[in-house]
Structure 1
């Protein structure tokens, strides 16, 4: 968490109960979106780098056989690149080709096997491109994390054609689309070392394109759409295509608080523009203020310097790190009727069930948005606590979420009759034979509430109200029950709230004097000279109303949420 002082980056007004921030000119820089669809780039090796040409599309519609995995092998020639000749390489689903002895498949931040370049979860493409560090030579044909789909390889005596037919992620809380998108691009590597990159159909607008022959070569930013045959050669030519820069969370909070006063416990931001991120649902910045002890180590600096950097004297506690885009899945009232669900972590999976439990015969609106907001605000207090059991301190989860094996049923469910904590854990059935059935996991889709342990840490439940629970470790799945619930073998450790207090001390302020009324600023952010669109205002207002209802329900009417801008 940065202690760099925040600054105001826009003009603040209100629209009903919503806060409107009109950004200053170029507050987030300029977007630079992909503009090479229907074009082919040719990279021709020279003694000191590559010459680059931009020409009409050259496309081979016969992709050849699909690759069974990441590894590709050439049989007719070896490709000269980075001072060596290569007959094997790895083709990544994120749109890159990686060479070298250190070419093992890596795991990306989402747990998926990735054979190309692996970026950190919150890397901005504009910055990642300029400072790209690789452990082996790489060709970045269309580097965009979280893409998925088949890859193909066809070989000729003098060249090999690699084709990607990928989609952006779709359907989940983190995504910008409900449906598959088409991203078809192709690389041709030639016997003479030249490289063609062709873009037949590209739905995505952000990616890194370029050639990085050797780690340490000076990377050269090139505008491929206007490159001239007289330019270069370039040792490592690349171009980063990206949305607006992500704002600093302290700039967002200071913009609002300086204009309207230090009256907000939480701030949530929504915009009609996208920022340079691969996830539609941002993390949170905090906890910042709201002095509390006995909840564990939040691993966030809550010093006076941090408070000052967020422009609060201690009232403001947590906010989104960046705005949520109005077109993202999270901001939609409901999924479209034709949206399919690949798994139980997508809201469309629950549409029939949620509609059946609603008096209006429709699922509660803005379920993704409320699930996300409830989760992030919950991080003000959870899930950081440990427990001391039989003199040994044990962790109840990998910070900042409860462990999957933690028994954490929700006290006051919001979406379904049986929910696990929005901060993680699960609802486990002890089969009394050393096995346990997972009735619910802790992923917060559909929107779920808080466990009694969460409510205790939030100051909304007394220690006496927290029932004994347990944590399972060494989980080994052994099958499923007739309803499809996973069954695990595991070791069980019983835990009580006394064990938590023994490790962390009592929660202070205590339940009888803890904060019970909270205020969230719902902020819509627009670029300079623009008014909020009707969609942005309507959807942000919908989220605002549901947030008040969610908080009342999920806290069992023990706390109240307002959204008063003044």
Structure 2
């Protein structure tokens, strides 16, 4: 991600920054990885037997791992659970300072360490300002660098480069209290964490219980105990600083005996199946059914090695359009061929959405926690009030996500040239939070900001601005006038003047709890955008108006789609057609025709 981001929208940028799929692996040729059939209006892929690899799910519940030092290495035993029920005091930060002993690890004796919020212990200097977890949250105890899209199966043996560390159960995005209790000969650290819940990136509407513990002994031995674990994927291991010739060994911890080792450093990565590559998915569909899809959306009945229940996008790929800004995705012959398209296919999801994910649910349970405005449960009442029949539209998470990702076919890449100066309108690939992007044809609520970012602002005419809606697509929101122009659906003359507020400095909230900022307002016209990017071509009179999305359900080898998967995919399919019609003001139509 770009380092320049405004605090108002840090979470938005971090949640939706897109993986560059055109790196070394992104332009390698795709190939078919399964058998394709059609079920009604859905496309079905039954994957080949070797397409997903093998999972390795967590198998240490009710067990204690004991690491006994042998010189600078360790022998490890898997024993019956040992559990200290006295947790001590809850940590308010990450730092722990020992008062009664020092702990030997990585060739030193330590009187202090940091306890991370996602199951790690770090030794050494305090983390720098740049040390954040995989989702950009400051974490004083972070010891490991895990990228947002890194698979746990791949990174376990590569961790530990920042500082000596212990991974008791490292799983990104977990949260909850941590406790510490020091005794004369040991210190006990306990985590009581939940996996992320309630959001469209999540696999659960409700908190989960993950209760695990580490005991660091005066003699250098280490115990890791797992009492209650809902999570099935994470990394367990020890990471002293290694010399150039040493490496972290990948071990099956449940199979170790007293004779195993010793090991200088070791880990086990617990993970789900390997995700299929996006170019293989598109090639599987297109080679069988033909190059007749503008977009492809994938849904599966299996979970794979990813910390998110949603997906970034793969594209833009084809559909030659100019005047929309630098998409950073050059439409070369090599890229088109890698997706098995002659240019019709324009964008797809990067990976499938699991049928058990929140995103694939018709609506949240009635008793789902609703206190977080990033979650759809927060909007239960206003969503019902916004429809003529008083019923919430189904699959709000799913269509909001599709609308956002497919919107990246055209947005948000454009700049503006104002008084001879080129002004960036976004923090690629989303509109700047200070950009006024109120939606032309709202979908969920009467007032929305663009699903591609920005904000719906109220100018208070005193140098301050109230943020009426931010560009976070929960609940599902539509497109701004600028988006619709870039999509080729409205003429330049139909885009009203807009503005950008910079720098944004938050100064408080109004009586309704809405944020108030001060900043300088800069007026922008569509002609300023054209001056920077050139005319949008094809223009509004010749642009594509009819699009076709392939809704693809994916199953493992030898299986058939479950009724749940078929029903939910069909529900998303129907709602997606309506969403597109509403948010484009019926100036465009979306089909989901596999034939």
Give me the TM-score of the superposition, normalised by structure 2: 0.94
- Pair 1:465-2:490 in alignment: no
The correspondence for 2:206, drawn from 179, 186, 197, is: 179
Aligned to 1:61: 85
Trace 1:117-156 onto structure 2 (pairs within 5 A).
Answer: 117-156=144-183
Shift of 1:199: 0.1
- Hey, what's the Cα distance between the residues in 2 that align with 1:57 and 1:493? 63
What is the aligned-residue RMSD (CA, Å)?
Answer: 1.0
Structure 1: runs of 5+ lacking an equivalent: none
CA contact 2:310–2:359 (8 Å) conserved in 1: yes
The correspondence for 1:85, drawn from 86, 95, 109, is: 109
Aligned to 1:409: 438
- Hey, what's the Cα distance between the residues in 2 that align with 1:481 and 1:314? 49
- Hey, what's the Cα distance between the residues in 2 that align with 1:73 and 1:152? 13
Aligned to 1:198: 225
Aligned to 2:133: 108
CA contact 1:472–1:493 (8 Å) conserved in 2: yes
CA contact 1:6–1:309 (8 Å) conserved in 2: yes
CA contact 2:72–2:107 (8 Å) conserved in 1: no
- Hey, what's the Cα distance between the residues in 2 that align with 1:520 and 1:133? 43
- Hey, what's the Cα distance between the residues in 2 that align with 1:220 and 1:401? 40
Shift of 1:359: 3.5
Q: Deviations over 1:446-503 (max 9, x none)?
A: 1000001000000001000000000011111111111111111111111000000000
Aligned to 1:551: 580
- Hey, what's the Cα distance between the residues in 1 that align with 2:276 and 2:164? 32
Aligned to 2:32: 8
Q: Deviations over 1:112-144 (max 9, x none)?
A: 112222411111000011222521101000000
- Pair 1:28-2:57 in alignment: no
Aligned to 2:17: none
CA contact 1:103–1:136 (8 Å) conserved in 2: no
Name segments (4+ residues, structure 1) moved above 4 Å.
Answer: none
The SS at the match of 1:107 is coil
Q: Using the TM superposition, name which of 415-424 and 48-57 deviates more.
A: 48-57
Shift of 1:110: 2.8
Aligned to 1:211: 238
- Hey, what's the Cα distance between the residues in 2 that align with 1:123 and 1:561? 33
Shift of 1:102: 5.0
The SS at the match of 2:501 is strand
- Pair 1:41-2:65 in alignment: yes
- Hey, what's the Cα distance between the residues in 2 that align with 1:53 and 1:104? 35
CA contact 1:64–1:154 (8 Å) conserved in 2: yes
- Hey, what's the Cα distance between the residues in 2 that align with 1:483 and 1:308? 52
- Hey, what's the Cα distance between the residues in 2 that align with 1:296 and 1:102? 41
CA contact 1:404–1:425 (8 Å) conserved in 2: yes
Trace 1:336-485 onto structure 2 (pairs within 5 A).
Answer: 336-485=365-514
The correspondence for 1:189, drawn from 216, 219, 234, is: 216
Aligned to 2:15: none
Aligned to 2:515: 486
The SS at the match of 1:258 is helix
Q: Using the TM superposition, name which of 98-107 and 17-26 deviates more.
A: 98-107
Q: Using the TM superposition, name which of 408-417 and 123-132 deviates more.
A: 123-132
- Hey, what's the Cα distance between the residues in 2 that align with 1:550 and 1:373? 10
The SS at the match of 1:543 is helix
- Hey, what's the Cα distance between the residues in 1 that align with 2:377 and 2:49? 39
Q: Deviations over 1:19-70 (max 9, x none)?
A: 0000100201111110100000001111252101000000001100011100
The SS at the match of 2:530 is helix
The SS at the match of 2:57 is coil
CA contact 2:386–2:446 (8 Å) conserved in 1: no
- Hey, what's the Cα distance between the residues in 2 that align with 1:366 and 1:479? 34
Q: Using the TM superposition, name which of 153-162 and 114-123 deviates more.
A: 114-123
The SS at the match of 1:337 is coil
Aligned to 2:557: 528
Aligned to 2:186: 159
Aligned to 1:97: 121
Q: Using a 3 Å threshold, how does the CA distance of structure 1 residues 102 and 62 change in structure 2: closer, same or farther? A: closer
